[in-house]
Homo-oligomer: A and B are copies of this chain.
Amino acid sequence: MNTVLDPVLVAMPDVQSSADTRHIAIQRVGVRGVRHPLLVATAAQPQATIAQWEMTVALPAEEKGTHMSRFIALLEARRAQALSPAGLAQMATDMLDQLQADAGDLSARFPYFLEKSAPVTEVRSLMDYQVCWTIRTRRQRASQFSLEVQVPVTSLCPCSKAISEYGAHNQRSHVTVRLECPAAQAPALDTLIPAIEAQASCQLWGLLKRADEKYVTEHAYENPKFVEDLVRDVAVMLQQQPGVQWFEVEAENFESIHNHSAYAVVRSA
């Protein structure tokens, strides 16, 4: 449809384009909770997933409103393309052009899968992780990329092990890493996730046979970790990651002896 020549549209008032007199610039305006398929570019073939998108631009004080439909048009135009962090950065630049904006943020939150081999039987299965990519773009400046990944693991309590005759309480924990780096140097999920998992009392698998279950039980018992140990050990690992400019590590243990969580956060200096 050629919107320029359409007489119906020409006749319609364009309320968003009128002037605003409140002298208040808006840092971010756009769409949120947009569920859309996403093809994640990986070293192997692209992975098809479903993302929740948030897409916003800055609006100067004198403009009344943004044009919401252009965000969705931008998403639709890229529907079949495999996307990497660098591709997301390009998409954010295009968003500034199409929305005639000076700054804007793009974020996509999606489940991501790794295929893993069980530790003893080596039977293969998928594990799911929650990932969020965010680009913050300003005209004439380098865009800022941040990666968030939530990795479910096992934690086993060192105190419980030390004070008990036998056993030790353990539970599922969520380790959430947020890091900033140039989009082109984003660590691959396929290497970052295992590096995070290696810091836990034990990693998780979708499919475990009995020989594997024996292994994970004993491995966790041999590697007790407080929630404090979890965030510190992941932080030590991230300090050695090339390209990482800032990071935050959060761990939440869904304590098996309480109905609340133990929780810790550590940030890079």
Contact = CB atoms under 8 A, between A and B. Distances in A.
Interface in A238-266: 252, 254-266
A255 B26 contact: no
A232 to B, nearest CB: 5
A35 B152 CA distance: 13
A206 B257 contact: no
Contact of A259 (B59, B128, B260): B128
A145 interface: no
A256 B165 contact: no
B220 A14 contact: no
A211 B154 contact: no
Nearest to A152: B259
Interface stretch (A94-102, A134-142, A175-183, A223-231): A223-231
A126 B209 contact: no
A113 B36 CA distance: 8
Given A36-B206, A171-B254, 14 more contacts: A8-B211, A12-B211, A16-B226, A29-B265, A30-B263, A34-B206, A36-B128, A66-B228, A72-B207, A164-B213, A164-B217, A164-B221, A171-B172, A254-B254
Interface of A: 1, 3, 6, 8-9, 12-16, 20, 22, 24-37, 48-50, 54, 56, 59, 64-66, 68-69, 72-73, 76, 79, 111, 113, 121-128, 152, 154, 156-160, 162-172, 202, 204-211, 213-214, 216-218, 220-221, 226-229, 231-233, 235-236, 252, 254-267
